[in-house]
Amino acid sequence: MRPVLVITCLALALTGAGAFAFMHARASSARAADASQVALGQKLFADPRLSADGRTSCATCHIPGLAFSDGKMIATGIHGLPGTRNTPSLTTTIASQRTSFFWDGRRDRLEDAVMDPFSNPVEMGLHGRAAIATAATALPDYATWFPSGKETPLAEADQAIAAALASYLRQLPLPPTRFERFTRGETTALDEREKLGMRLFAGKGQCATCHVLEGAHLTDHDFHRSGVSMDDIAARLPELTQGVLSRNLGGAALGDRIATHADEAQLGHFAASHKVSDIETFATPSLREVRLTAPYMHDGSVPSLEAAVDREVYYRGLDTGYPIGLTAQERGDLMVFLKAL
Ligand code: HEC
Ligand code: HEC
């Protein structure tokens, strides 16, 4: 090899290595930034100081051991105040890649959904969205993220808090469920009875039209009527829907209203879309880890998984006009399958 060629090769190798080292440094600093953002999100999530009673955090209602739901019929927030809806599982929200948030789909960005509970009057009770960044930046142990303390521009801190909470939730560990392992080709992850249950779920039961059997999704990302608690508001429907239209609220303000008015909470997706056909429709919940998230339905009115399945079998048949008749054996098969989700 002639010397000049050797030198060119060496130079090329060196620039290559340099570029690699540079890229590597960039990737690891991006990872470090991510880790710092996730750490902020995790800290905020569990911090009761960011609530009006100093005792309520996101983790009060989204409990890690319960797939980030709370096991209660209806959520209770500051000073034990009840809301109007059942707390959804946040690992399920992330795993199913939901495209709208809350039972009525009133938010379409996770970064917005994570901020609403802070100022909801029956959840964490801070006074307005601005109060969140004000409270967090004033706490000395947040100085790592907001070094100039109160000097950090509040709008900037607000965005950083929203992004951090969303990042924290997006990176929650989601070990594959048995059903997920099965869908990835591990045929023995489900036993024979569970496979029978799966066939009923997709076939005779027609459950999979809405709880789509696709990886972890188990939802069609759409809204449907459920018949749960329908009779409560039937007589007052004109008055209630008119009220929603004339107030014309959205986002956090709508969330505040829904959490404090049980009758309006029953209007479901209508409150967000204002379409008559959406009255009393609710987001199809993903059934991932449904065995952990009792009680069930938007208002938590169904106490057990068995009761939820019986209700769905009955109501879905009623809805289509073709009753779904399951034998006791088939019902049992369906149940074991749901517990593997
Ligand atoms: C008082 C209990 C309570 C607290 C505290 C609470 N949540 Fe929730 N969360 C709920 C309930 C109830 C809903 C459903 C509300 C609805 O659909 O109207 C919900 C819904 C959500 C959703 C939408 C999930 C989905 O799949 O639609 C997200 C995201 C969320 N909460 C994040 C948070 C974060 C972040 C915090 C802390 C800042 C928090 N929550 C604090 C009870 C609570
Ligand atoms: C037309 C769409 C649709 C079909 C078909 C359907 N579901 Fe559902 N399912 C929903 C909706 C929407 C909800 C939430 C209703 C509510 O909260 O009011 C729900 C709720 C549930 C829940 C409670 C989940 C939770 O987290 O609260 C279970 C369990 C369930 N369905 C199982 C089934 C089974 C089993 C079948 C088949 C027999 C089935 N569903 C068929 C749309 C459907």
Q: Kindly state the average pLDDT of the residues 317-324.
A: 87
CATH number at residue 252: 1.10.760.10
pLDDT digits (tens, 9 = 90+) for 157-176: 999 999 999 999 999 999 99
**Better-scored residue on pLDDT, 11 or 120:** 120
- For the Cβ of 298 lying below 6 angstroms from any atom of ligand 2, the answer is yes
With the most atoms of ligand 1 within 8 angstroms of its CB, the residue from 76, 102, 222 to mutate is 102
Closest residue CA from atom 31 of ligand 2:
312
The residue type of 63 is I
How many whole angstroms separate alpha carbon 302 and alpha carbon 71? 12
Residue 274 one-letter amino acid: H
What is the average per-residue pLDDT within 101-111? 98
Same domain, 310 and 329: yes
Shared domain for 195 and 301, answered yes or no, is yes
- Is the per-residue pLDDT at 149 higher than 70? no
Q: Is residue 16 part of a domain?
A: no
Helix (H) or strand (E) holding 223: strand 223-225
Tell me, yes or no, whether 248 and 137 share the same domain.
no
Mean pLDDT across 174-198: 96
Same domain, 212 and 302: yes
Say what the pLDDT of residue 23 is: 52
State pLDDT tens for residues 229-240.
Answer: 767 788 899 999
Q: Are 227 and 135 members of one domain?
A: no
Which is higher by pLDDT, 30 or 106? Answer: 106
Domain check: are 164 and 241 in the same one?
no
What string of DSSP letters covers 38-65? HHHHHHHHT-GGGSTTSS--HHHHSBGG
- What pLDDT does residue 322 have? 87
Judge if 86 and 156 occupy the same domain. yes
236 part of a folded domain: yes
CA 131 / ligand 2 centre spacing (Å): 37
Mark whether 146 and 207 lie in a shared domain. Answer: no
Tell me if 228 sits within 8 A of 312, measured CB to CB.
no
Q: Is the CB of 201 under 6 A from ligand 1?
A: no
Domain boundary among 139, 170, 201: 170
Enter the pTM of the model. Answer: 0.91
Q: Which of 146, 170, 194 is the last residue of a domain?
A: 170
Any domain includes 3: no
Kindly state whether residue 11 falls inside one of the protein's structural domains: no
Kindly tell me the sign of the dihedral angle through the C-alpha atoms of 227, 228, 229, 233: negative
271 pLDDT higher than 90: yes
Which of 118, 137, 170 is the C-terminal boundary of a domain? Answer: 170
Task: Please check whether residues 84 and 226 belong to one and the same domain.
Answer: no
Same domain, 228 and 84: no
Q: At which residue do the structure tokens 């309006």 appear?
A: 264
pLDDT band at 10 (very low <50, low <70, confident <90, very high): very low
Query: If you search the block for the tokens 């950090």, which residue do you land on?
Result: 152
Cα–Cα distance measured from residue 315 to residue 303, given in angstroms and rounded to the nearest whole number: 17
CA atoms within 13 A on the CB side of 67: 23
**Residue 127 lies in domain:** 35-170
Question: Is residue 267 situated within a structural domain?
Answer: yes
In a domain, 30, yes or no: no
Q: How confident is the model at residue 120 (pLDDT cuts 50, 70, 90)?
A: very high
| Neighbour-count burial of 302, counting CB atoms closer than 10 A to its CB (0-12 exposed, 13-18 middle, 19+ buried) | buried
